[in-house]
Amino acid sequence: MTESVNIVEAFNLTKAWGELVAVDNINFEIKSGEIFGFLGPNGAGKTTTIKMLCTLYQPSGGRA
């Protein structure tokens, strides 16, 4: 049996601008071959999280 490799990981990922916390300690991992959806209401931090994963934004805390 082949072990799946994580292709995306986020650990305690946080993004804040001053007192506004857009993403607060999010954790997830996506394994090779998985299908992953990112759902939530407007203003939930989806775009901010994706921009941190793409290195367009520097996280305030945690790592991706």
Q: Indicate the DSSP class of residue 46.
A: H
- Global pTM value: 0.86
List the domain boundaries for the chain.
6-63
Q: How confident is the model at residue 53 (pLDDT cuts 50, 70, 90)?
A: very high
Residue 29 phi/psi, 5° resolution?
-140, 145
Helix or strand run (H / E) with residue 52: helix 46-53
CATH number attached to the domain at 6-63 = 3.40.50.300
pLDDT at residue 54 in the model: 95
Residue 3 has pLDDT above 80, yes or no: no
Q: How confident is the model at residue 24 (pLDDT cuts 50, 70, 90)?
A: very high
CA 54, 48, 24, 44 torsion-angle sign: negative
% of the chain beyond a pLDDT of 90: 91
Residue 1 has pLDDT above 70, yes or no: no
What is the CB neighbour count within 10 angstroms for residue 53?
Answer: 17
The type of residue at 62 is G
Q: CA angle at residue 50 from 44 to 52, to 5 degrees?
A: 105
